[in-house]
Amino acid sequence: MKIISEKTEIEPIGLRPKIAAFYLAIGVSTLWALAKKEILTPIKITPGVTVFSKMELDELFQEKLRIAKTKQENTESTMES
């Protein structure tokens, strides 16, 4: 996801809640539930602007991916036995 102007490309480091939820393919209410459980950290930029760190979103996704792969490998090895 890049913001492109005539002169530069900028990779955002913070995403507004609606975009952050879209980025993770979850609902906005699920995003806020993850924040409430302290799995994600909302960052208040100004009184009316909250963002989520893109790096933290990527780390959460990678962690969930590792867990899913491990479960899949365990299931496959159990089926082979």
What pLDDT digit, counting tens, does each position of 44-80 carry?
Answer: 999 999 999 999 999 999 999 999 998 888 877 776 6
Output the CA angle 15-48-57, nearest 5 degrees.
Answer: 20
Asked whether 23 and 56 are in contact (CB, 8 A), the reply is: no
Q: How far apart (Å, rounded) are the C-alpha atoms in residues 10 and 72? A: 37
pLDDT for 49: 97
Asked whether 58 and 52 are in contact (CB, 8 A), the reply is: no
Question: How many percent of the chain have pLDDT more than 70?
Answer: 89
User: What are the φ/ψ torsions at residue 15 (nearest 5 degrees)?
Assistant: -120, 135
